[in-house]
Amino acid sequence: MLNLLGEHPCRIDAKGRLMFPAKLRKQLDGVIHHGLVVNRDIFEGCLVLYPKPEWDKVNAEMARLSRYNKQHQLFQRKFMKGATHVELDGAGRINLPGALLAYAGINPVDANEVIVSGLGEKVEIWSQKAYHKQVIQEDDSIDFGALAESVRKDIEGERE
């Protein structure tokens, strides 16, 4: 089971290539040879990078949706839109699709600084501005203790 950790300030070059952090590459050592899949996040304006074995688990969940249910198909279409298989090149870079960069508010020419953050079995890629606004500043307005209690109750409810 993966437990990807760390926040890494990085840069994206004008061609949309992200120099993937060495510390995350090391954490992915056993699975990175399978490749990675990058996609839009469902809830936030960032990108999510899945190691291929983790993406396969997500894809298995998608396969459980009914092709005869309009809501299921709409969700699957929206979720899969833009999902792209990527690999590290010889220099340790990942070439991110322009449409996904635009979704995340990342303009490689103007504002090429991003935050790459390990989040358990996946990695998030944020524009530095959005990360600061959503993750750093939001910390001030959220009662983290109350959030932890709420999430814990959800988890405990699943075990019953």
Q: Is the pLDDT of residue 13 over 80?
A: yes
In the chain, what percentage of residues exceed pLDDT 90?
A: 76
- Buried b or exposed e, range 108-137, using 16+ CB within 10 angstroms: beeebebbbbbeebbbbbbbbebbeebbee
- Residue 160: the pLDDT is 55
Topology annotation, domain 7-127 = Chemotaxis protein chec (3.40.1550)
**Average per-residue pLDDT for the chain:** 90
Instruction: Give tens-digit pLDDT for 20-40.
Output: 999 999 999 999 999 999 999
- Residue 135: the pLDDT is 76
Prediction pTM value: 0.88
Instruction: Give tens-digit pLDDT for 88-120.
Output: 999 999 999 999 999 999 998 876 899 999 999
Contact present, 114 and 128 (Cβ < 8 Å): yes
Structure tokens at 56: 């396969």
Tell me how far apart the alpha carbons of residues 35 and 94 are, in angstroms, rounded to a whole number: 10
